[in-house]
C-alpha cells in the first residue's frame, strides 16, 4: 500500500466538508440553513427554506461530494479499505464540516454518492432499504439509524461482497451514529412522519 493512498481519505473529508446547503441558502435568501427547520445542513432543509429547485441542486452536489473521492480512490488504488475509509471520511466531512464550524448535515446523499462510484446496484439496494424502513417505522431518523446498521448484512444477502460491503460497514457506522441525534425528534414537516 502506497503512503500516498492515505491522501484519499483526507481528500474525502475535505470534499465532504464543502457545505453546499449553507452556501446555497445564503446566496438565495441570505440565511443560514441551520437556523430553521431541522437545524441541519441538508437537502430537505434547503427545500423548506429556498425551494425545491435549489434543494435539488444541493442534493446533486452532496452526492458528488461522496462520488468523486470514492471514484478516485477506486481508480488509483483499487484498495477496498482505502476506498471504504475515503467514503466514510466524505460522510464525516459532510456531518462535521471543516468549513462550517463542524455543524453540517446527516450524510445520506454523500454516502449514496460513494455507492454510485463503485456500483450503481448497491446504491439502489441501499436506497430501497432506507425507503422500506422509513415507510415501516414512519420516523426518518430511526429508519436511517437502522439503515446504517443493516446495510452491510443486506448487501451480503444480495451478494454485494466486494468494496460495497466495506463502504456499507465504514459509512454505515457514521450514518447510524449521526442520526442518533434525532432519535427522539418529532417530525412535523415530512409527510411520512405526520401524526395521524
* pLDDT score at 1: 57
Determine the structural domain holding residue 107 and report its residue range. Answer: 3-193
Number of domains in the chain: 1
Q: Which three cell numbers stand for residue 140?
A: 426518518
Q: What is the 3-state secondary structure (H, E, C) of the chain?
A: CCHHHHHHHHHHHHHHCCCHHHHHHHHHHCCCHHHCCCCCCCHHHHHHHHCHHHHHHHHHHHHHHHHHHHHHHHHHCCCHHHHHHHHHHHHHHHHCCHHHCCCCCCCHHHHHHHHHHHCHHHHHHHHHHHHHHHHHHCCHHHHHHHHHHHHHHHHHHCCCCCHHHHHHHHHHHHHHHHHHHHCCCCCCCCHHHCCC
Q: Which three cell numbers stand for residue 51?
A: 425551494
Residue whose C-alpha is closest to residue 93's, from 15, 3, 24, 8:
15
Question: Distance between alpha carbon 21 and the CA centroid of its chain, in Å?
Answer: 13
Rounded Cα–Cα distance for residues 64 and 47 (Å):
18
Instruction: Provide CB contacts within 8 A for 133, sequence distance 6+.
Output: 143, 144, 146, 147, 150
Residue whose C-alpha is closest to residue 111's, from 187, 164, 40, 55:
164
Contact 106, 40 (CB under 8 A): yes
Rounded Cα–Cα distance for residues 32 and 45 (Å):
10
* pLDDT score at 47: 92
Rounded Cα–Cα distance for residues 115 and 165 (Å):
10
* pLDDT score at 160: 95
* pLDDT score at 4: 74
- Asked whether the whole model's pTM tops 0.85, one would answer yes
* pLDDT score at 191: 43
Per-residue pLDDT of the chain (196 residues; tens, 9 = 90+): 576 788 999 999 999 999 999 999 999 999 999 998 788 999 999 998 999 999 999 999 999 999 999 999 999 997 999 999 999 999 999 999 999 999 999 999 999 999 999 999 999 999 999 999 999 999 999 999 999 999 999 999 999 999 999 999 999 999 999 999 999 877 654 444 433 3
Amino acid at each position: 500500500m502506497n503512503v500516498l493512498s492515505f491522501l484519499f481519505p483526507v481528500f474525502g473529508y475535505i470534499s465532504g466538508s464543502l457545505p453546499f446547503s449553507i452556501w446555497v441558502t445564503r446566496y438565495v435568501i441570505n440565511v443560514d440553513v441551520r437556523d430553521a427547520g431541522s437545524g441541519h445542513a441538508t437537502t430537505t432543509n434547503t427545500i423548506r427554506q429556498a425551494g425545491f429547485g435549489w434543494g435539488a441542486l444541493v442534493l446533486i452536489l452532496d452526492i458528488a461530494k461522496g462520488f468523486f473521492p470514492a471514484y478516485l480512490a477506486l481508480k488509483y488504488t483499487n484498495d477496498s479499505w482505502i476506498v471504504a475509509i475515503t467514503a466514510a471520511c466524505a460522510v464525516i466531512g459532510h456531518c462535521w464540516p471543516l468549513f462550517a464550524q463542524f455543524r453540517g448535515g446527516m450524510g445520506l446523499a454523500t454516502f449514496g454518492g460513494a455507492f454510485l462510484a463503485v456500483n450503481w446496484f448497491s446504491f439502489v439496494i441501499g436506497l430501497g432499504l432506507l425507503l422500506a424502513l422509513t415507510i415501516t417505522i414512519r420516523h426518518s431518523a430511526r429508519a436511517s439509524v437502522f439503515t446504517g446498521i443493516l446495510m452491510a448484512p443486506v448487501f451480503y444477502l444480495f451478494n454485494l461482497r466486494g468494496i460495497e460491503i466495506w463502504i456499507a460497514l465504514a459509512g454505515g457506522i457514521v450514518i447510524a451514529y449521526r442520526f442518533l441525534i434525532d432519535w427522539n425528534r418529532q417530525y412535523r414537516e415530512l409527510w411520512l412522519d405526520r401524526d395521524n
